[in-house]
Amino acid sequence: MFKLPDKQLTARLLTIVLFMILSAAGLCFSVYLFYVSYPLSVQSWLLAVGFTLLSVIAGSFNIYAAMWYYRSYQYDGYLKNIMSKLKPVTSYPTVAVLIPSYNEEPDMVERNIKSLFALNYPKDKLGFYLVDDSTDQKIKTALQNVAKRLNVSYVHRNERKGYKAGAINTIAKRLNEDYIAIFDADEHLTDQNFLMDLLPFFQDEKVSYVQTEKKYDKGTFFSDSVDLFDAFFFKFIQPARALNNTAIFGGSCGLIRKSAFLKIGGFPEFVIEDTFFSFESDMHGYKSLYYPHVYASGRPIFTFTELAKQQWRYNYGDTQFIKYFYDKKGNMNGKSPLSYMDYAMHGLGLNYISVVLILFTLISVGVVFSPVPFAHINLMHFFSQNSWAIDLELLGFTAFTLSLMAPVFLTKFYFNSWTKGLMVFLLNYALAFVRTKAAIATLINKNPGMNWNRLGIKNIKNGNLKYSLFNTKTEIAFASTMFVLAFFAFSQSNLSGGIWLTWYGLLYCLATFFLHKYG
């Protein structure tokens, strides 16, 4: 079931080569900037220093990502070794199936709860709980009726404190069941053997939770491309992390030992409770496992607004986790350096692909208008000149090109799609300011919710230009600045610089375009 064909190892080796070339090329261009800045101004030196720092950050992430991709290939053997020691289920502990909901569509919730009734497990050992935090009174009443019709326990809090984590913590203290299974309200069961497959792993008393692979239903080209964000995480990062006992509990489609849950202290009540819980489980000396199989499928993300809100919440929570991790890292005595790096990289990950993108753009503006005497490279130079300076500048061009193509190559390697890889690349630029604003909101303790102004328009799905322009005004202002600077570069006969800045301007217009096209 888990054996990967040889071509998967080949793909991982190609991934490592790609990331290593990308890292080395970026650092070589940094050397070039220092070389050509030597007799010039402080401004040129500052640009060289800034570009070098960003290259080191990018190189560190790229090298660590390469390691994740390679180590994920080793997880097959690791998991098989564990499974070879397990015994079949002979007794059936009680399991509480929790369905957290927050202003979700009642008909969808009802369908999904019904799908969970098909779990292959003794029915008298199961308890179903609709944990509803809805603030809309109509939805609340409808969900109460759903729970009554389906004979499911309904739990509602008058005060929505601690987000989803607070809701689960509240009910967990009252549960009599031995285990807690969590499925989000938008997820429907696709494999009935969820409990029968996962419970054997808990024969090891130190296992606190087992997380399975999460996936969205098939939808549109946009939603299927968005699904790749999670697909890369669950197919490559999660297995590599699980080897270090740092697999992230994904918030749903997972099974938790209740006694461990209570001893850990429940879910830390943050926006993304799952990452914090995983860290606390590790700090309390428990083991965690990742089982790479899909048992439930969630509702696709069809609109750019939904995606932006999701990514805002993720980066708000990840930025919170950076401080949380820094404050508690002293408890990691005895943990491997790889475990330390896993948590650090996770907390910084979305900031890396958002804040660093924007900073690289600003550095690029400085480079275009600096007095740095860039070599004018043409094919004749390439074949006839023997200049290491030109070679270094060519490496800089290589780094720039590979940074554009890496998501495209990886998606083709692993998911056989060039177009979805290109979409992932474009979405990262479209979301750069959303994620960056979320990080800033965390640092200044602003409310974690992202609310785009609806301008009095109801049921926006797509096509309203005024709505799109108003809610992406930061991106529009930034892109417009790039276009103005590109004009000045062209007017100074700086063709390459003008093209470079025009390209960046177009990339930062994507937030407006996607919001207008997909709603």
Mind giving me the DSSP string for 116-145? HTT-SS-GGGEEEEEEE----HHHHHHHHH
- Compute the half-sphere exposure of residue 467: CA atoms within 13 Å on the CB side of its CA: 22
Instruction: Give per-residue pLDDT as tens, 165-202.
Output: 888 988 888 899 999 999 999 999 999 999 999 999 99
* Domain membership flag for residue 150: yes
Q: Which helix (H) or strand (E) element contains residue 70?
A: helix 42-83
Q: Which residues pair with 127 in a beta bridge?
A: 96
**Is the pLDDT assigned to residue 36 strictly greater than 80?**
no
Q: Which residues contact 396 (CB under 8 A, 6 or more apart)?
A: 25, 26, 28, 29, 32
User: What backbone phi and psi angles, to 5 degrees, belong to 85?
Assistant: -100, 0
Task: Report helix, strand or coil for 345.
Answer: helix
Between 45 and 355, name the one with better pLDDT.
355
* Domain membership flag for residue 64: no
Confidence (pLDDT) at 1: 43
Q: Is the dihedral of CA 191, 251, 92, 108 positive or negative?
A: negative
Task: Report helix, strand or coil for 109.
Answer: helix
User: Is residue 379 very low, low, confident or very high in pLDDT (cuts 50, 70, 90)?
Assistant: very low
Count of structural domains within the chain:
1
**Is the pLDDT assigned to residue 127 strictly greater than 90?**
yes
Written in H, E and C, the secondary structure of 35-52 is: HHHCCCCHHHHHHHHHHH
> What does DSSP say about strands 188-189 and 153-156: parallel, antiparallel, or unpaired?
unpaired
Confidence (pLDDT) at 390: 46
* Domain membership flag for residue 321: no
Instruction: Give per-residue pLDDT as tens, 450-473.
Output: 666 655 455 555 558 888 888 899
Domain, as residue range, for 199: 88-303
* Domain membership flag for residue 120: yes
Residue 245: CB atoms within 10 Å: 19
- Label residue 451 exposed, middle or buried (CB < 10 Å: 0-12, 13-18, 19+): exposed
Confidence (pLDDT) at 38: 67
Question: In which residue are the tokens 């480079």 written?
Answer: 367
Instruction: Give per-residue pLDDT as tens, 49-78.
Output: 888 888 888 878 888 888 888 888 888 889
* Domain membership flag for residue 151: yes
**Is the pLDDT assigned to residue 382 strictly greater than 60?**
no
289: CATH: 3.90.550.10
Q: Which residues pair with 257 in a beta bridge?
A: 179
**Is the pLDDT assigned to residue 248 strictly greater than 70?**
yes
Question: In which residue are the tokens 């490279």 written?
Answer: 377
Question: In which residue are the tokens 């190892």 written?
Answer: 9
What angle (nearest 5°) sits at the alpha carbon of residue 311, between those of residues 306 and 313? Answer: 95
- Helices 388-415 and 6-37, packing angle to 10 deg: 150
Average pLDDT of the chain is 84
DSSP 8-state class, residue 217: P
Confidence (pLDDT) at 398: 57
Nearest-CA neighbor of 362 among 21, 114, 54, 24?
A: 54
Question: In which residue are the tokens 């959303």 written?
Answer: 434
Most confident of 111-120, 240-249, 376-385, 445-454: 111-120
Residue 201: CB atoms within 10 Å: 19
Distance spanning both ends of the chain, measured CA to CA? 39
Instruction: Give per-residue pLDDT as tens, 500-516.
Output: 889 899 999 999 999 99
> How distant, in Å, are the alpha carbons of 120, 181, 249, 481 from that of 126?
10, 10, 22, 59
Residue 322 CA to residue 318 CA, distance in Å, equals: 6
* Domain membership flag for residue 259: yes
* Domain membership flag for residue 407: no
Residue 9 CA to residue 16 CA, distance in Å, equals: 11
The pTM of this model reads: 0.86
Task: Report helix, strand or coil for 203.
Answer: helix
- Compute the half-sphere exposure of residue 244: CA atoms within 13 Å on the CB side of its CA: 25
Q: Which residues pair with 156 in a beta bridge?
A: 132
Residue 313: CB atoms within 10 Å: 17
Confidence (pLDDT) at 194: 97
Residue 245 CA to residue 471 CA, distance in Å, equals: 41
The answer for 266, left when phi > 0, alpha when psi is -120 to 50, beta otherwise, is: left
Instruction: Give per-residue pLDDT as tens, 291-341.
Output: 999 999 999 999 999 999 999 999 998 998 988 888 876 666 667 777 878
Confidence (pLDDT) at 333: 65
User: Is residue 437 very low, low, confident or very high in pLDDT (cuts 50, 70, 90)?
Assistant: very high
* Domain membership flag for residue 291: yes
User: Is residue 388 very low, low, confident or very high in pLDDT (cuts 50, 70, 90)?
Assistant: very low
User: Is residue 143 very low, low, confident or very high in pLDDT (cuts 50, 70, 90)?
Assistant: very high
Residue 306 CA to residue 452 CA, distance in Å, equals: 11
> What does DSSP say about strands 207-216 and 287-298: parallel, antiparallel, or unpaired?
parallel
CB 168 within 8 A of CB 266: yes
**Is the pLDDT assigned to residue 101 strictly greater than 80?**
yes
